[in-house]
Structure 1
Amino acid sequence: MSESQAYATSSTPSAVRRLGDPVVLGVSIGFILGFIALSLYDVNMVADGIAAGFAWTASTLGSYFQWLLLLTFLVAMGLVFSPAASAKVGNLDVPEMSTFKWLSIIMCTLLAGGGVFFAAGEPVYHFVVTPPAFDTEAGTAEAIAGALAQSFMHWGFLAWAVLGSLTAVVLAHAHYVRGLPLQPRTLLTPVLGERVMHGWFGGVVDGLCVIAVVAGTVGPIGFLATQVSFGLHELFGLPEGYGTQLVILIGLGAVYVSSAMTGVHRGIQWLSRFNVILALVIAAVIFLFGPTRFLVNAFTQGFGEYLNAFFPMATMTTQTAPAWWMQWWTVFFFAWFIGYGPLMAIFVARISRGRTIRQMILAVAVMAPIATTIWFTLLGGSGIHYQLTGAIDLTSALNDFQFDVATLTVAQALPGGSLMALAILVLTTIFVATTGDSMSYAISVVGAGHDAPNVFVRAFWGIAMALMAAILLYMGAGQISALQQFIVITAIPVSLVLLPSLWTGPQAAMAMAREQGIVADPRRT
């Protein structure tokens, strides 16, 4: 029996400790408890320390993060056009789930609450504060295309590609063919060998990736509570305070914990499908009854500018852009996506059985980004229209980074007014819930080492993230912001886990193609 086979045998559900790898649990839970304990001891010390690390990481490694995303997308696109991309994932001839269900889960899991949270405000921000890549006068008609293009850059092809293209290919081959577990450490086996799967080092790798996802998920959960609390106060006059936020967190946690406990084929799939249908309804209302002609023209110009200025925006540095702007926009978002990368790849590989490598990459790195740009145009483009015509004025709120105010203000200006605002709050809530359930599931998979983790372990991680958000909100929204800044720091070790996929991804695809007889094996000729 080979080493990989032996490890796979020892990693079956019956052989794994009930709660998962003790090293992974120790590192990840230790971080959660340590962060909360230090915050209780000295909030300012934690915030200042993270802010310093955030600034150093952004200025020192920002260009490295940018190149990682850019090269991931380019290599993935090259792989799409190769014969190896016809290989199927998971040794299945027929996909496990329908195309609509599959795409729904991908869209909801990867776009999540972050994209919905920023969709209304970010394009308007770049409209009132011209991005460094453009020289148009802020707040004018000429600034529309650049504002949308900059938003597309942050949430477009590069962001999605690093979340589940090359890395998903590596994991699919390692798991379904070689019998290795769906864990971040598996991404390093082609470079360091299967010995990394054993012992403390592999557990530390997995634990660091879990920490990045916890930091990246608790942030949206916490900010959702503040956003919904603000929205309910504005719409219905409910008290806007910690009590309301806590009730919202309890309700949100109950939804996504229940979904995670029922698994990929039940709760997660149902919630994602419902969310996509609701998003389509909202999108149709905005398009048909909103500023339709403006939105069509804005999308056409914005997407054209996105393609035209693609490389200048992707490779911009502090030599050509203000350091604060790079730190809080491009580098922050790119680091956030890097932090999610390994666990998102696990999720993509898990739900894509029966799909070809080409279908998987195109769905994640092309189709989903285009859908995202359309969504940003509908919400953010409408916001730009109302800002341009004077119907709303978000300049002051956005200069203070009050994106919850921006979302509700734009929503109320849309057709339907308060009803549309309520619908968008519900949509945002369910988007965050789909992130919570999928990441609770993925973290449990990492800890267990197999794709059928104990249902109570899934519940534990969901509850832990909601509880952490509640504690940090009690200390003040500033600690949620500090935790989100910490994402940039966690991207450093996680990026090293993703880096080898630039060459191991194509190698894994070629190996799958040879094994399935799609490409001739030179060793047999």
Structure 2
Amino acid sequence: MPPNTAPASAGNSAFSRLGDPIVLLLTVGFIVAFVGLSLYDIDMVADSISAGFAWTATTLGTYFQLLLLLTFMIAIGVAISPAASARVGNMDSPQISTFKWLSMIMCTLLAGGGVFFAAGEPIYHFVVTPPAFDTEPGTADAVAGALAQSFMHWGFLAWAVLGTLSAIVLAHAHYVKGQPLQPRTLLYPVFGERVMRGALGSIVDACCVIAVVAGTVGPIGFLATQVSFGLHELFGISEGYGTKLGILVVLAGVYITSAMTGVHKGIQILSRFNVFLALAIAAVILVAGPTLYLVNAFSQGFGEYLSSFFTMATMSAETAPAWWMQWWTVFFFAWFIGYAPLMAIFVARISRGRTIREMILAVAVMAPVATTIWFTLLGGSGIHYQLIGAIDLTEALNNFQFDVATLTVAQALPGGSLMALAILLLTSIFVATTGDSMSYAIAVVCAGHDAPSPLVRAFWGLAMAVMAGILLHMGAGQIGALQQFIVITAIPVSLVLLPSLWAGPKAAYAMAREQGVITPNVATVTHNG
């Protein structure tokens, strides 16, 4: 079946203009229910989610960690296997140039979250020593551990779950077997046609869409708060709701337009521009900032990351404070799990013509290394300024005020206010690239193919922006509550990802046999032995 046609399922005739009616009903129902209940009793909603968040983190935290660890290790195994020479999407050459492809991967998967935390998280771990280390907080000895802990949260494990094994399964199922680009396809190895045709598949898709809505509305809302705070600090502009709403309207206009024009136009252009801006900012920091300190900090931090990798990756509530695990490692890992199926759809879509090896190494190795460099430039600079007394973010970070941390570090960097403005712009576009790619991915899920109507893309982009605007009106607390909700949604989404642990390698070898990359005998021997 050609990849740009609707899925050949029995329920296809029931698809409305906006896609699967059950997915639409459940997802929009969630948005309306969350906003409605928040208006009715804001404390009840926040308390209920907080309780569910705490229970999930305590009970299932280790399971989430093992899922990410196994995904990364198996993906690397596939990448070094003979099957990794097979190409995605039955194309002899890449559909998108290497730079544009890598730009979209970086901007979509790192997104606003990584930029938002890049300055504050390393400094937080510097002033509050992570449980995997025993260094004195706020001292030179604490630098390597602080960076290493940040690298763990945003490094190999986080990236691998977003677009390696699950992307291989989806690419083979869609481009070879003609199955839809939907999360339910990841469960086909377990349930077969039952999950493709019935209500179960629609419920699976809806859970994954709800997780992404919860995870995307948060950064959109927090960005409006962060930019309004920045504009107030730099230019004295009011931080009121009107300013935040104006920022939200501009942001939504940008990412909805980008999503409507598609992968080959708006999404690609926005991502490429942001990469150039990030490279320019990085160059200024590296050249005009504390260069030698940053080089040494990266070397020590990355070395500590590798040497303490398994200690940090398997840290549990038995060996670390429950609150720390809940708000750091488990929160981030659950967030990435929630995003994973739709990110995998996006990665499979933009990686046509790439080898499996290229796709895995780009997502699970190259992108994490680039992320650690970015965290060192911003967070490492912040640690340096904290050490020499140029800034003091201890109180702000103990109160989790990461917007304050980002702006404070930006103003301390070479260029001062100009650098702060550039980083605010960078963060805004990073969030926009998340908004456009997720609007596109949600539309793909609803339609079941990779060319959804531009109006469907716009609908989902607008729905997330409206939800962010309403929750901002209630206060940042409800944005935070929604952000916590993604940890709860990670429970069903993680079950969707589980079959990829064995179906990913199996799909890679199937693609390799079909393309003649390996002979059936070699595939059998290698796969079984």
- Tell me if both proteins adopt one fold, taking TM over 0.5 as the criterion: yes
Quick one: structure 1 residues 86 and 376, their matched pair in 2 at CA, closer, same or farther if it must change by over 3 Å?
Answer: same
Amino acid at match of 2:323: W
Map of 2:391 onto structure 1: 392
Q: Is residue 100 of structure 1 aligned with residue 78 of structure 2?
A: no
One-letter code aligned to 1:312: T
Please give the residue correspondences for 1:54-203 in structure 2 after superposition, counting only pairs within 5 Å. 54-203=53-202
- Residue matched to 2:309: 310
The corresponding residue for 1:335 is 334
Question: Is this contact kept in 2: 1:10–1:16, CA < 8 A?
Answer: no
CA contact (8 A) 2:8 2:179 kept: no
The two structures have a TM-score, normalised by structure 2, of 0.97
Structure 2 counterpart SS, 1:342: helix
Q: CA deviation at 1:521?
A: 1.8
Does residue 254 of the first structure (1) align with residue 253 of the second (2)? yes
Cα gap change, 1:268 to 1:230, in 2 (>3 Å): same
Please give the residue correspondences for 1:477-492 in structure 2 after superposition, counting only pairs within 5 Å. Answer: 477-492=476-491
**Cα pair 1:379 1:410 within 8 Å, conserved:** yes
Q: Provide the C-alpha distance between the structure 2 equivalents of 1:290 and 1:433, rounded to a whole number of angstroms.
A: 28
Query: After TM superposition, which residue ranges in structure 1, 4 or more long, deviate above 3 angstroms?
Result: 6-16, 522-525
Q: In structure 2, the residue corresponding to 1:162 is in which secondary structure?
A: helix
Q: CA deviation at 1:348?
A: 0.0
Match of 1:279 in 2: 278
Contact 1:13 1:450 in 2 (8 A): no
Q: Distance in 2 between matches of 1:431 and 1:51?
A: 28
CA offsets, 1:172-213, max 9 Å, x none? 000000000100000000111122111211000000000000
**SS of residue in 2 equivalent to 1:93:** coil
Correspondences of 1:501-516 after superposition (within 5 Å):
501-516=500-515
Taking structure 1 as reference, are residues 295 and 13 closer, same or farther at Cα in structure 2, changes over 3 Å only? farther
Instruction: Quote the sequence identity (%).
Output: 79
Q: Determine helix, strand or coil for the equivalent of 2:178.
A: coil
1:467 matched to which residue of 2? 466
Q: Is the 8 A contact 2:7 2:448 kept in 1?
A: no
Paired residues for 1:412-423 under 5 Å: 412-423=411-422
- State the alpha-carbon separation in 1 of the partners of residues 390 and 11 from structure 2: 60
Please tell me the residue identity of whatever aligns with 1:238.
Answer: I
- 2:106 alignment partner AA: M
Deviation at 1:18, TM superposition (A): 1.4
Residue 366 of structure 2 is matched in structure 1 by 367
Q: What does 1:164-243 align with in structure 2 at a 5 Å threshold?
A: 164-243=163-242
Q: How far apart are 1:270 and its partner, in Å?
A: 0.2
- Give 2:355's aligned residue: 356
The one-character-per-residue Cα deviations of 1:14-60 (angstroms, maximum 9, x if unpaired) are 99531100011011111000000000000000000000000000000
Distance 1:262 1:297 in 2: 43
Q: Deviations over 1:438-457 (max 9, x none)?
A: 00000000001111111111
Q: Is the 8 A contact 1:120 1:406 kept in 2?
A: yes
Ranges in structure 1 where 5+ consecutive residues have no aligned partner: none
2: CA distance, partners of 1:294 / 1:229: 32
> 2:96 is paired with a residue of what secondary structure?
coil
Tell me, yes or no, if the aligned pair for 2:252 and 2:432 is still in contact at 8 Å.
yes
In the alignment, which residue of structure 2 is the partner of 1:50? 49
Structure 1 residue 8, shift from structure 2 partner: 3.6
Name the SS for the 1:39 alignment partner. Answer: helix
Aligned to 1:24: 23
Contact 1:12 1:450 in 2 (8 A): no
The alpha-carbon deviation at position 9 of structure 1 amounts to 3.8
Q: Distance in 1 between matches of 2:149 and 2:249?
A: 35
Amino acid in the other structure paired with 2:240 = G
Query: Could you say if the C-alpha distance between residues 440 and 524 of structure 1 is closer, same or farther in structure 2, counting changes exceeding 3 Å?
Result: closer
CA RMSD of the aligned region, Å?
A: 1.8
Distance 1:139 1:522 in 2: 58
- Could you tell me how far apart the structure 2 residues matched to 1:402 and 1:234 are? 15
SS at the partner of 1:512? helix
Structure 2: distance between partners of 1:48 and 1:384? 34
Task: Decide whether the 8 Å contact of 1:11 with 1:450 is kept in 2.
Answer: no
State the Cα distance separating 1:524 from its structure 2 match: 12
Q: Residue 7 of structure 1 contacts residue 180 of structure 1 at CA under 8 Å; is this kept in 2?
A: no
Deviations 1:235-289 (A, max 9, x none): 0000011110000000000000000000000000000000000000000000000
Structure 1 residue 322 and structure 2 residue 318: aligned?
A: no
- Identify if the C-alpha distance between structure 1 residues 138 and 194 changes in structure 2 by more than 3 Å, giving closer, same or farther: same
Q: For residue 461 of structure 1, what is the amino acid of its counterpart?
A: W
**Residue identity opposite 1:329 in structure 2:** W
Provide the C-alpha distance between the structure 2 equivalents of 1:365 and 1:44, rounded to a whole number of angstroms: 40
What is the CA deviation profile of residues 405-432 of structure 1, one whole-angstrom value per residue up to 9, with x for unaligned ones?
A: 0000000000000000000000000000
Other structure's SS at 1:77 match: helix
Contact map agreement 2:89 2:353 (CA 8 A) in 1: yes
Q: Any conservation in 2 of the 1:13–1:452 contact (CA below 8 Å)?
A: no
- Distance in structure 2 (CA, Å) of the matches to 1:283 and 1:373: 12
Write the letter of the residue equivalent to 2:487: V
| In structure 1, distance between residues paired with 2:28 and 2:90 | 35
Partner-residue secondary structure (3-state), 1:211? helix
Aligned-pair distance for 1:376?
0.1
CA–CA distance in structure 2, aligned partners of residues 243 and 8 of structure 1 = 43
Tell me which amino acid in the other structure corresponds to 1:409: T
Asked if the contact 1:171/1:349 (under 8 Å) is kept, the reply is yes
Aligned partners of 2:6 and 2:449 also within 8 Å: no
Offset at 1:7?
8.3
Residue segments in structure 2 that go unaligned for 5+ positions in a row: 525-529
Deviates more, 1:18-27 or 1:304-313: 18-27
SS in 2 for 1:163: helix
Q: In structure 1, how many angstroms separate the alpha carbons of the residues matched to 2:235 and 2:10?
A: 52
Separation in 1, partners of 2:510, 2:220? 40
Contact 2:14–2:20 (8 Å) recurs in 1: no
CA contact (8 A) 1:149 1:306 kept: yes
Q: For residues 522 and 431 of structure 1, do their structure 2 counterparts lie closer, same or farther at Cα, with a shift above 3 Å needed? A: same
Is contact 2:117-2:402 (8 Å) kept?
Answer: yes
* AA of the residue aligned to 1:112: A
The whole-number CA distance in structure 1 between the counterparts of 2:495 and 2:427 is: 32
**1:411 match:** 410
- Which letter does structure 2 place at the counterpart of 1:225? A
SS in 2 for 1:19: coil
**CA 1:443–1:478: 2 relative to 1, 3 Å:** same
Distance 1:85 1:107 in 2: 22
CA separation in 2, counterparts of 1:485 and 1:10?
Answer: 35
